[in-house]
Chains A and B, each alone.
Chain A
Amino acid sequence: MAQILFIVLTVSAVALFSYNLRKIIRNIRLGRPANRSDQPQKRFATMLRVAFGQSKMFFRPVPALLHLFVYAGFIIINIEVLEIMIDGIFGTHRVFAGLGGFYNFLIGAFELLALSVWLGCAVFLIRRNIIRLKRFSGTEMTSWPKSDANAILITEILLMTAFLTMNAADAKLQSMGAGHYITAGAFPVSQFLLPLMPGSESALVLIERGCWWFHIIGILAFLNYLPYSKHLHIIAAFPNTYFSNLEPKGEFTNMKSVTNEVKAMLDPAYTPEETQPGRFGAKDVNDLSWVNLMNAYSCTECGRCTSVCPANITGKLLSPRKIMMDTRDRMEQVGRNIDKTGKGFEDGRSLLDDHISREEIWACTSCNACVQACPVNIDPLAIITELRRYAVMEESQSPASISAMLGNIENNGAPWKYSPADRFNWAGEN
């Protein structure tokens, strides 16, 4: 009976998760094409270094170390989840116990990791809610992103608590020689919980089973929370770093559609290369590339970008984190529209103006500090640039001084109002 319940729960949880994940992938595919399939080896190496190896986290050593605790715990404790899965399906108990001394080592290591996850999450909660680090506030950090972060941390603490309590009850049952509780595992952490355990066998079994079910149901529920949460980064970080920009950060894309028009203008005999139709730049999420959109799903709202943004530091409206959160919010809104009414539905809203204001996009210095700071290689600058391109090329809307500068380049070949004839005067001057 327990086995059937377990299998039904697991299958439905995985099915629901795949359903929501497919929706996310569909939303990402709303974006325009971008070629990121070149240099697979370099891409793989980037993914290993940045996502798996957490290399960019260590620019800030304290949170990097705490995050490493949680991350390593997450990755390695998955081996334990494998055992839980097998036990759940076949009704076994500690199926890997046959590994003997190595099993003891594994369980011991899991316990230490569980403790480090527990402590890491506790410190993270303190940083967010008691110390209130500036990085975790800002206009975009409304009540949902804040409770999202707390929900993740509290869930992880509860899961680890259940895991350790389960082990403590198991250890006590083992020492009592109860039923099928064979002697297996080492309990370097949960041994300290032993004094808290009740003496009766039935109560211990209740605690052990209760924690076991809580742990696994918690994991399945958490899995299904990911698609709605910033915590999706634990998955998205990997494709996001794999497909990240390998060119120098200073390089902006050359727009093929514009090259076509410019070349046709200079040479009437020119046959244009094929490009996809559409507007210049981006007004809404489907004008952005799929990479921009995947970036938005990979953002875990840590705020490293915003905390180094020169515009944000000096009190301007622009916040690169907000750019990413707005893009995701708008993309999910468009996704819900598609769910309800099918593709092609216009709700009269757009990313630019309804989510991101002109004041924000024009405050950017394109300094790439946000791109550099992002631990998963998100590029907010690429989105800002596309929005500017739309404003300037489709609408001819820019701050008056920018329009004047563009006019000067067009007329004098310099951003200032000087005559081209005077360009070489510097050589003869005093």
Chain B
Amino acid sequence: MSEKLNFEVPTMAQMMARGEEPEILFWVGCAGSYDERAQKITRDICKILHHVGIKYAVLGTEESCTGDPAKRAGNEFLFQMQAMANIELLNGYNIKKIVTGCPHCFNTIKNEYPGLGGSYEVIHHTQLIQQLIDEGKLKAEGGESFKGRRITYHDPCYLGRGNGVYEAPRKALEILDAQLLEMKRCKSGGLCCGAGGAQMFKEPEKGHKDINIERIEEALELQPAVIAAGCPFCMTMLRDGVKLKDQEQNVQVLDIAEITVKANGL
């Protein structure tokens, strides 16, 4: 299982040139494009799409920030500038369905783009994985076994409370036959990793603790082998937490897509 993709990732520009349309557009997001750790998750999402044979494409270098961090930070101008440019691009490609690798992109495109002229069916990659499992196209065989391992899932705010998606990521884990553990603060009561609302891009205000430490302490109480995530920002915060607690040897922080790829040996 080499990290490198043994297939080419199709771009919208290529598809258009061939006169084809994809079934689904994979919106990668900025973290998924540039952040080294998140890039690996991006490739894993492509591996899943490729494996099940869905006709998909990415925007490649044409993609741009959804405007989410600008909007949460209060810069509505910049948000709408980004949104309108993206909508023009998406509508130009006649996009109907989008899967995102990031709950923030998911929330923004799904909820905030329609009012600006961009209406698409938008799902998060954990929802796609759940659908593929339900359809029998994805299983948990042929790869690493998670059987009996202690796994806890951290709800990203913009997937969970923000949009009510609690079950899809859990369904994607249930198939592993692992020991799924819930933190005390989970689902609608889940605790933020500390990165939302543009906090990812700044130092926290003065306090007695960092939010990701508060969260990781709660997760570590369960003595998990894996902390499952569904958001590149949560991934950064949780990994930093595990590092600071010196638990890297015992606990892995993995995205649901990575777990799926490992379990299927893709």
Contact = CB atoms under 8 A, between A and B. Distances in A.
A310 B195 CA distance: 11
Contacts of A366: 72, 157, 196-198
A282 B229 CA distance: 35
Interface in A374-412: 385, 387-393, 398-399, 401-402, 404-406, 409-410
Interface in B1-60: 2-5, 8-9, 11, 28, 30, 32-34, 39, 42-43, 46, 58, 60
B181 interface: no
A355 B74 CA distance: 19
Interface in A266-325: 266, 280-281, 308, 310-311, 313-318
B211 A250 contact: no
B30 A415 contact: yes
Interface in B83-125: 84, 107, 110-112, 115-116
A359 B78 contact: no
B74 A281 contact: yes
A255 B78 CA distance: 12
Contacts of A405: 69, 73, 198, 201-202
A249 interface: yes
A365 B202 contact: no
A372 B186 CA distance: 13
B204 interface: yes
A49 to B, nearest CB: 15
Contact of A427 (B9, B158, B162, B213): B9
B203 A401 contact: yes
A418 B58 CA distance: 19
A367 interface: yes
Given A367-B157, A367-B192, A427-B43, A409 B78 contact: yes
B19 to A, nearest CB: 22
B254 to A, nearest CB: 18
B5 A427 contact: yes
B162 A426 contact: no
Given A251-B112, A262-B80, A421 B61 contact: yes
Contact of A258 (B9, B80, B185, B188): B80
A393 B77 contact: yes
A401 B80 contact: no
Contact of A424 (B11, B72, B111, B163): B11
B180 to A, nearest CB: 22
Contact of A248 (B4, B163, B190, B205): B163
A46 to B, nearest CB: 15
Contacts of A368: 157, 161-162
Contact of A406 (B78, B205, B210): B78
B226 to A, nearest CB: 23
A262 B81 contact: yes
A278 B93 CA distance: 37
A422 B34 CA distance: 8
Given A248-B162, A316-B204, A367-B161, A59 B189 contact: yes
B76 interface: yes
Given A250-B111, A250-B162, A420-B64, A398 B205 contact: no
A248 B110 CA distance: 10
A351 to B, nearest CB: 15
A398 B205 CA distance: 13
A64 interface: no
A366 B162 CA distance: 10
Contacts of B82: 409, 413
Contacts of A388: 73-74
B69 A310 contact: no
Contact of A316 (B61, B189, B206): B206
Interface in A327-358: none
A72 B104 CA distance: 42
Interface residues of A, number: 69
Q: Which of B3, B194, B207 has the most CB of A within 10 A?
A: B207
Q: Which of B75, B164, B203, B208 has the most CB of A within 10 A?
A: B75
A39 interface: no
A275 to B, nearest CB: 13
A258 B84 CA distance: 12
A416 B34 contact: yes
A317 B208 CA distance: 11
A318 B11 CA distance: 44
A247 B198 contact: no
B65 interface: yes
Interface in A249-264: 249-252, 254-255, 258-259, 261-263
B107 A251 contact: yes
B39 A426 contact: yes
A427 B46 contact: yes
A266 B84 contact: yes
A372 B189 contact: yes
A425 B63 CA distance: 13
B158 A250 contact: yes
B250 interface: no
A17 B194 CA distance: 45
A423 interface: yes
Nearest to B68: A415
B34 A385 contact: no
Given A415-B30, A420-B61, A365 B195 contact: yes
Interface pairs A-B: 10 shortest CB-CB: A250-B162, A366-B197, A388-B74, A315-B207, A315-B208, A413-B64, A251-B111, A367-B192, A392-B74, A405-B201
24 contacts: A59-B189, A254-B80, A255-B76, A259-B116, A281-B74, A310-B211, A311-B211, A314-B213, A315-B206, A362-B205, A363-B205, A390-B74, A392-B73, A401-B203, A402-B198, A414-B30, A416-B30, A421-B61, A427-B5, A427-B9, A427-B58, A427-B60, A429-B4, A430-B3
Interface of B: 2-5, 8-9, 11, 28, 30, 32-34, 39, 42-43, 46, 58, 60-61, 63-65, 67, 69-78, 80-82, 84, 107, 110-112, 115-116, 157-158, 161-164, 185, 188-192, 194-211, 213-215
Given A316-B207, A317-B205, A424-B11, 5 more contacts: A263-B84, A363-B207, A405-B201, A423-B61, A430-B2
